[in-house]
Structure 1
């Protein structure tokens, strides 16, 4: 096979098998796909690594020892330290080397896959269907591989085969799976078709996703910051019939904790970033005379209150600092809050 065919085959197969569009991983696979041909000085890698290729060429037949599982095992052990930089990089290099020699199985001379056995693996059985290096048949195969590589990279750039399938169908259950896998890395928007659970009016609108609530529902907000529960449960304010997820921008997510022991809530909460900061947890509120937190049926309440005698228990689910300050900022509280801060990269 031509070196370019080895490269495209390695890129396409590595992208598909590892489910990646990472250019570093694919580039490493492409480079390593050239290494099996170091057993001849006429190859691209042989010219670069001439002392090694000259040594191997004098002692071993072409497509023998370097085109075998023995060489692959040695190569995998040799480059194992690469795992310290990233396991995907290591797998990309191993995959590239493998496809760099396995593609030659479809050539007329085949390869000695099980070296030191001299038996050659050749496919297909009909010699007329085997590839000759540089032939029109190989150029046709290269063309197909290029298309396959582009499709694989495109699909993985969009989040993988499962995500693309879910996007195509627009099923809410598939959308929630996508959110679960992407929410920590991307700011997401949900394009929702459905109906208002109370008025039954049709809805077709985009909402920013805050977080999944369970396996069936998402917590979202509109452009005004009003929160809604979207899904198919009885608690949902928006019943979704179709939901598609878009990646808006890469993000970093920081999670910290706030511990309070009969402390002023305002002092603790006012120090937090105000944009895309969400607080969850349970607080015990003291001296609650006059404390009233309204409830709504047409939106999702991120703060709910359970009164007791002279105290109250406030439950927060993805509440914003502004909302906590508005409703609870005048009180002292005890408890633990998980703070999730989302920032763009």
Structure 2
């Protein structure tokens, strides 16, 4: 019973503290939660690793050498290669799961020698009747609360974790930036905005797709156009939300005195940025919208695009022979707007 409780407590704690619902992270947390009990051959992990548990059991008291902070540090040190081959969250899950498991044992009747090799027992309360007992009613309550906490933590991990959730609820821009940076490569990310357009102070309230981040500001898009927050659109409140799984890739397009001949890709949204030299600049007619981001500018025989939707670029460059390069940002599938 205690092995299950340790697993859920550690998984919930890791998910909540690191803002993750990654199955690998949770599995590592659960593995870490079982390692302290390798010091007894009667535990589940002790039976699996019997030679090791038997050796430790003959030399150290239960809940001493494997239940201490020093053991957590040793696990963190041994796991350092994971930091270089994966990321810091993956590296931290195993030792953090171990630490949370050891900490939870402080609330049991026996307690733990958390500061081993000092033989001091760390126990939560002086009254033994108020401590948790394996298989007792108190443990079932802990298990139920930890299970609910794990479910909530996994749900919150989709929005960047508890801190991002709170920040989003308050409309903090820093949290919107964090959510975008964390999820933009693998998901559609949207901005829910309360604000006004800078040109005429009319309402800009609505939901926009985030095309790119520029510092603490965003390039945003809906079916009517593009804007840059802080410049074309002034937001009093901006929150970010994660949409469906998607990919965002960059492709470089090079042209050398050749006709512009690109066709849209089905179920994608593509924006192009860069400067091209055109052979017939007089035939290009640009229509500016003062409310929006300037997506195309013509100076002499050079046209510069700035997050211009591919469909608009195709219309402007139809029949032109061009030289130069464009960076195409491709979202697949197309976001829901």
Question: Does TM-score exceed 0.5, indicating one fold?
Answer: yes
Distance change in 2, residues 1:27/1:293 (3 Å): same
Aligned equivalent of 1:66: 66
Please give the alpha-carbon distance, in whole angstroms, between the structure 2 residues aligned to 1:173 and 1:112. 41
CA contact (8 A) 1:210 1:221 kept: no
SS of the residue 1:249 aligns to: strand
Distance change in 2, residues 1:100/1:163 (3 Å): closer
Please give the alpha-carbon distance, in whole angstroms, between the structure 1 residues aligned to 2:174 and 2:298. 31
| Alignment counterpart, residue 303 of structure 1, candidates 296, 318, 334 | 296
Please give the alpha-carbon distance, in whole angstroms, between the structure 2 residues aligned to 1:271 and 1:342. 15
SS of the residue 1:259 aligns to: strand
Aligned equivalent of 1:319: 308
| Alignment counterpart, residue 258 of structure 2, candidates 253, 264, 268 | 264
Aligned equivalent of 2:50: 50
Distance change in 2, residues 1:117/1:246 (3 Å): closer
Which structure 2 residues correspond to residues 281-292 of structure 1 after superposition, within 5 A? 281-292=274-285
Aligned-residue offset at 1:298: 4.5
Structure 2 unaligned segments of length 5 or more: list them: none
Aligned length: 332
Aligned-residue offset at 1:10: 0.7
Aligned equivalent of 2:244: 249
CA contact (8 A) 1:185 1:253 kept: yes
Aligned equivalent of 2:325: 336
SS of the residue 2:302 aligns to: strand
Aligned-residue offset at 1:46: 1.7
Structure 1 unaligned segments of length 5 or more: list them: none
Distance change in 2, residues 1:287/1:19 (3 Å): same
SS of the residue 1:67 aligns to: coil
Aligned equivalent of 1:169: 170
Aligned-residue offset at 1:43: 1.4
1:100 matched to 2:95: no
For residues 281-318 of structure 1, give each alpha carbon's deviation from its aligned partner in whole angstroms, at most 9, with x where no partner exists: 222334423433222235444212223xxxx3322111
Aligned equivalent of 2:273: 280
When the two structures are superposed, what TM-score results if normalisation uses the length of structure 1? 0.82
For residues 13-40 of structure 1, give each alpha carbon's deviation from its aligned partner in whole angstroms, at most 9, with x where no partner exists: 2112222111221122112211211211
CA contact (8 A) 2:160 2:182 kept: no
Please give the alpha-carbon distance, in whole angstroms, between the structure 1 residues aligned to 2:112 and 2:299. 73
Please give the alpha-carbon distance, in whole angstroms, between the structure 2 residues aligned to 1:126 and 1:42. 27
Please give the alpha-carbon distance, in whole angstroms, between the structure 2 residues aligned to 1:79 and 1:201. 55
Aligned-residue offset at 1:260: 3.6
When the two structures are superposed, what TM-score results if normalisation uses the length of structure 2? 0.84
SS of the residue 1:33 aligns to: helix
Aligned equivalent of 1:3: 3
Please give the alpha-carbon distance, in whole angstroms, between the structure 2 residues aligned to 1:177 and 1:119. 43
